[in-house]
Amino acid sequence: MRVQSSATASTPIAVGTPPGAAPVSHRAGTLQAALGVVAFSLTFPATAWGLEGFGPWALVAVRSVLAAALAGGCLLFLRVRLPERRHWAGLAVVAAGVVLGFPLLTTLALETSTTAHAAVVVGLLPLTTAAFSALRTGVRPSRTFWAAALAGAAAVLAFTVAQSGGALTAADGYLFAALLVCAAGYTEGGRLARVMPGWQVIGWALVCCLPLTVPAAVVALSYEPVVWNAHGVAGVLWVAVGSQFLGLVVWYRGMAAVGVPRASQLQLAQPLLTLVWSVLLLGEHLTAAAPLTAAAVLVCIAVTQRSRS
């Protein structure tokens, strides 16, 4: 079975199209990846809301179970066949990095860290994802691509560290560990999304975690009392439905269309979006450096999107 991976100047075709699926143009793929970034940008503020009603372990377990129930229902309704045996190792990496590792580590970090400080992780994630992709797939982006990626990551890192006062916290260990496991999960998920629909990639990853997340939810809820309030419920629902499932559906499909390295650079805008949501939803304050950083990030994104791999 062939996977189309080239494009002509007159009709842009997806870098990789799942068998039986309609090709996705580079423009549509970029739009889908960007929608994923918008969904992810709400994750930290929503997690902060969720922690107002749930303990950290209960929050992570419940969000995974809810997302798996939604994904599993879609898989059953559409009678999707089980993935081929050769894909399960990759799905396990997605599950460990995106379904379990990143949510747990960032939630633990957000118990003592602000959303602005946690955004440091997202600022470094595009560069880390591109590096993982280069190691995993053998693709070598151009020097221009790497220069723009490094510049964008440096700009975002400087901005987010300044927002947190420049002080390192005990949560940094969680944040940097989350960075590594999420980059691995994104890379493997983007690779799998070239041979199966993106929603099935995250759907099967969520479902295969159920033997762990269901018992974990039961135990965590018994030890961490739940305080029922609007923020807590809204936060859990968003991270489960928006961040954990729908956001990853469009994100993986976008990565399959434009390639993992280029799609990952769209996340350079994610910390700034997160800070905007933090102001609107959590009452945090931005400095005058925000417009300058936003302009620098947009320039870097433009360069990475135009550079040839």
Q: Tens digits of per-residue pLDDT, 203-262?
A: 999 999 999 999 999 999 999 989 999 999 999 999 999 998 888 888 888 887 887 777
CA distance 239 to 201: 18
Q: What is the pLDDT of residue 209?
A: 94
48 within 8 A of 243, measured Cβ to Cβ: no
Give percent of the chain above pLDDT 90: 40
- If one compares 157 and 96, the residue with the highest pLDDT of the two is 96
Q: What is the pLDDT of residue 256?
A: 78
Task: Tell me what the mean pLDDT of segment 163-171 comes to.
Answer: 70
20 confidence band (pLDDT: 50, 70, 90): very low
Task: Tell me what the mean pLDDT of segment 181-185 comes to.
Answer: 92
- Whether the full predicted model's pTM is greater than 0.75, yes or no, is yes
1 confidence band (pLDDT: 50, 70, 90): very low
Residue 24 backbone phi and psi in degrees, to 5 = -115, 130
- Residue 21 in this model has a pLDDT that exceeds 80: no
Record the tokens describing residue 22, joined without a space.
């309609």
Give percent of the chain above pLDDT 70: 88
Q: What is the pLDDT of residue 140?
A: 77
Query: For residue range 34-86, what is the model confidence (pLDDT) as tens digits?
Result: 999 999 999 999 999 999 999 999 999 999 999 999 999 999 999 999 999 99
Q: What is the pLDDT of residue 4?
A: 36
Task: Tell me what the mean pLDDT of segment 154-166 comes to.
Answer: 76
The b/e string for 206-232 (b: 16+ C-beta within 10 A; e otherwise) is bbbbbeebeebbeebbeeeebeeeebb
- If one compares 307 and 278, the residue with the highest pLDDT of the two is 278
The string of DSSP codes covering 190-243 is: HHHTTTS-HHHHHHHHHHHTHHHHHHHHHHHHHHS-----HHHHHHHHIIIIII
The string of DSSP codes covering 112-144 is: TS-HHHHHHHHHHHHHHHHHHHHHHH-----HH
- Residue 19 in this model has a pLDDT that exceeds 60: no
CA distance 20 to 289: 47
- If one compares 26 and 220, the residue with the highest pLDDT of the two is 220
293 confidence band (pLDDT: 50, 70, 90): confident
Q: What is the pLDDT of residue 139?
A: 75
Task: Tell me what the mean pLDDT of segment 95-102 comes to.
Answer: 93
Q: What is the pLDDT of residue 126?
A: 79
CA distance 309 to 200: 27
Q: What is the pLDDT of residue 23?
A: 55
Q: What is the pLDDT of residue 18?
A: 54
